Amino acid sequence: MKNNFFSSIKNKKLITQVVHSKNIVQNNICVIKYLKNNENKLNYIISTPKKYFKLAVTRNKIKRQVRSIIFEHKANNNMNIIIIIRDTYLNNTFNVNKALISELLNRIENNLWHM
């Protein structure tokens, strides 16, 4: 079944806008850059640098985990986000990472309310 509330960003112009936006929240496991959009859809990109995670299996596992965290988080759906995973992600368990990323998503929601 296709999910109409989440999608991956494919437009290069939109990616550039989000990357150059000054809206950033971060902690020790990831950096999230975000930008409000007019759609009722959460557009996302998950970046797992090859520099830190050499094996494709590891990068794909991290992307699956982060994607499931985003889907489970009942977030405000009208934003574009880019999640850049740091090398310390694998030092924690999935539940700890889930709590840390959810905390960042909550901070983004609070910031969007004040925009």
Distance CA 5, CA 113 (A): 19
The pLDDT score that the predictor gives to residue 6 is 63
CA distances from 48 to 38, 52, 78, 83 (A): 27, 8, 24, 9
Residue range 4-33, pLDDT digits in tens: 556 677 778 878 888 888 899 999 999 999
Average pLDDT taken over every residue of the chain = 86
pTM: 0.86
Residue range 94-109, pLDDT digits in tens: 999 999 999 999 898 8
Distance CA 75, CA 98 (A): 14
